[in-house]
Structure 1
Amino acid sequence: MKIEAIKAALPTKKLTNDDILALIEEYSKPTFTGDLKAALSKINFFLRYSGSDTRHWLDKDERPIDLVARAFQEAITEANCDKNDIDLLVYTGIGRGFIEPAAAYHIAASLGLQQAECFDILDACMSWTRTLNIVHSLLQTGRYKRALIVNAECNMRFGGPVFPTVFQLPNVEAIEWSFPAYTLGEAATATILSCDPDREWEFHFKSRPDLADLCNVPLDGYEGYCTPSQRIGLNGINKFTSFGVELHANAFPEFINIFKCLKAPIEEIRAIFPHASSKREWDKVAEALNLKHLLWHIYPTYGNLVSASVPTGIASAIAAGQIKRGDRIAGWVGSAGMSFCAYSFIY
């Protein structure tokens, strides 16, 4: 499978850590019990400790579909193909406007893709990576010639699953299950893929469903679809709840074990693209395997882009001249679920 083009589009509103702290202070003042200044100081420390600096959110006149269209147009231009050449479109990621039908249908209609079969894949921050693996298998069957993967991880809209609810802290304890919300950025990506038997891909996945209650956005009535846990829904129904410290603590050994599954020679890898959940935590894992020098981080600049993290990282590395055609690269992802993946391929 060949990546013919991979592009990312970012919104224009840029926020610093200080902007995030100001928003938390504004929305927490009416509800907070205790020392708010001490809580803000704690969040500030965590942000800077993780390596966070800036992130981008949609401005008032911007829409997720506009970012998708921009990324798609740049991708199709680079791939030198026509819209009608795309016969499969997969929408992937958490940011979405529809539960029914699959978001891919509305994306296809907006982009003018009349020949493409459509469906969605949703697997939290693993979504784009999981889709790569599935599309790789589908292209090998010969059923499709060219596939498009798109996402629009724009989850910070007012009244959405994160903002402002998770910025309305009731007490300092709530930071434990709310902090990851303050690292989120927004982006859309478009990836065009075609079958190429000369480019081998290697994927390794592992799931840890026993950790499923560490990061959730529960729907109304979720209790009937799971074994209930006191961790789920602490910020409310349809709202984001995430225990970031525990996620990374449990992920550390899994990250090491899954990367060791790769058969690709380490000395051939030009760059490794981690999920943008924390620069410091990923550096710790990479240091354990003597791989820190290979990590390409976008977290400090763009924040956690959810399922758009790795494709945005790859697109930015290409633009910066960090990788070129013929280079071997690797992806390294951990996600709510929990799930873990390491994969490698020739760009």
Structure 2
Amino acid sequence: MRIAAVSAALPSRRVTNEDVVGLVREHSAPVFEGDLEDTLRKIEFWLAYSGSECRRWSEDHERPADLLLRAGEQALAEAGLARESVDIVIYTGVGRGFLEPGGAYHAAVALGLRRAQCFDILDACMSWTRALQLVDGLFRSGACRTALVVNAEFSLRPTGHVYPHVFALRNPEALTWTFPAFTLGEAATATVLTAEGAEPWTFAFASRPDLADLCNVPMADYADFCVTPSEKIAKNGVQRFTSYGFDLHEAGRDEVLEVFKRLDAPKDEAVAVFTHASSKRWWQDMADHVGLGERIHHVFQDTGNIVSASVPAAIASAVGGGRLRRGDRAIGWVGSAGMSFSAFSFVY
């Protein structure tokens, strides 16, 4: 499998940590019980500690579909791929406008891919990585020759699962299950994949379903779909983002290192490491631990946490900046809600 092209489209609004703290103050002030200014200082500290500087949010005139279209058209053009030759379109990630049918169908229509097979993969921040593992298997089986993987992670819109609702903290304790919301950014990406011209990819995966209650966007009747509902789910309400970010990173540390250890690839040959953009500091610590600290390519400080768009956006950034060139080996490394963990290696 070969990445023929990868593109990222970021919205135009630049939102700094200071802006976020101001928005939390604005929306929390009418409902907060306790010392709001002390809580705001904690948010400011943890944002800076994580390595956050700014993130990109869409303006009112910027639709997710338009940025997805921009990313898709750019990737197809860079790949030199005729639209009729695209066999499969996969839509990945949390940001979506439809429960039915899959977002891939709407993306395919927008991009003029009228004959491609379409389906979605939803696995939180791991979605893009899962899609590439599946495409790799389809290519190996001979079922298809070309694929387009797209996503549009836009959760900060007023109709989304995050803003302004979860910016209205009700007490200091709410920071425990809400802080990751303040790191989020928005982005659309498109990845064109072909079956020929590259060395085989290698993947390692692990799951910890016992930690599934640490990060959720539950639907209205979620409790009827849980055998043993957890009190951690829906702390910010149904259809709202709830995430115990500190617990996620603490619980995930050993799992992330273990899945990296299990990756069967010449890791020392990697010129770049691309991770989920959940925290610059935390992933830098992970990369330092395995001796690849100088090779990690961060985007978190510029984009915020862009969910399943994190790794493809980082690859696009590295290619655009000359950090990753054809023939270079790279490593992807992801931890996700679920929880799930992955490390993978490929030659660009």
TM range (shorter): over 0.9
Find the aligned partners of 1:60 and 1:161 in 2 and give their Cα distance: 17
- Structure 1 residue 197, shift from structure 2 partner: 6.5
Find the aligned partners of 2:82 and 2:155 in 1 and give their Cα distance: 30
- Counterpart for residue 337 of structure 1: 338
8 Å CA contact 2:89, 2:149 repeated in 1: yes
- Structure 1 residue 322, shift from structure 2 partner: 0.3
- Counterpart for residue 220 of structure 2: 220
Find the aligned partners of 1:247 and 1:198 in 2 and give their Cα distance: 35
| Structure 1 segment 323-334 matched on structure 2, within 5 A | 323-334=324-335
Deviations 1:232-272 (A, max 9, x none): 00000000000000000011111111111122223211110
Calculate the aligned-residue CA RMSD, in Å. 0.9
Q: After superposing the two structures, state which structure 1 stretch, 118-127 or 140-149, moved more.
A: 140-149
Find the aligned partners of 2:10 and 2:197 in 1 and give their Cα distance: 33
1:120 match: secondary structure? strand
- Indicate yes or no: 2:19 matched with 1:19: yes
- Counterpart for residue 248 of structure 2: 247
- Counterpart for residue 191 of structure 2: 191
- Counterpart for residue 56 of structure 1: 56
- Counterpart for residue 82 of structure 2: 82
Deviations 1:187-239 (A, max 9, x none): 00000101027421000000000000000000011111112000000000000
- Indicate yes or no: 2:266 matched with 1:265: yes
Deviations 1:44-89 (A, max 9, x none): 0000000000100110110001111111111111111111111100
Find the aligned partners of 2:190 and 2:92 in 1 and give their Cα distance: 10
1:42 match: secondary structure? helix
Deviations 1:272-308 (A, max 9, x none): 0010000111112222222211111001111000000
Deviations 1:131-154 (A, max 9, x none): 000011111222212100000001
8 Å CA contact 1:102, 1:119 repeated in 2: yes
Find the aligned partners of 1:119 and 1:302 in 2 and give their Cα distance: 27
- Counterpart for residue 100 of structure 1: 100
Unaligned runs of 5+ residues in structure 2 are: none
Unaligned runs of 5+ residues in structure 1 are: none
**Percent identical across equivalent pairs?**
53
Q: After superposing the two structures, state which structure 1 stretch, 139-148 or 53-62, moved more.
A: 139-148
| Structure 1 segment 291-310 matched on structure 2, within 5 A | 291-310=292-311
- Structure 1 residue 159, shift from structure 2 partner: 3.2
TM-score computed with the length of structure 2 as normaliser: 0.98
Letter in 2 for 1:139: F
Find the aligned partners of 1:198 and 1:321 in 2 and give their Cα distance: 19
8 Å CA contact 2:205, 2:343 repeated in 1: yes
Letter in 2 for 1:130: R
Structure 1 runs of 4+ with >2 Å offset: none
Q: What is the count of residue pairs matched by the alignment?
A: 347
Letter in 2 for 1:342: A
8 Å CA contact 1:218, 1:238 repeated in 2: yes
- Structure 1 residue 94, shift from structure 2 partner: 0.4
TM-score computed with the length of structure 1 as normaliser: 0.99
- Counterpart for residue 149 of structure 2: 149
8 Å CA contact 1:330, 1:344 repeated in 2: yes
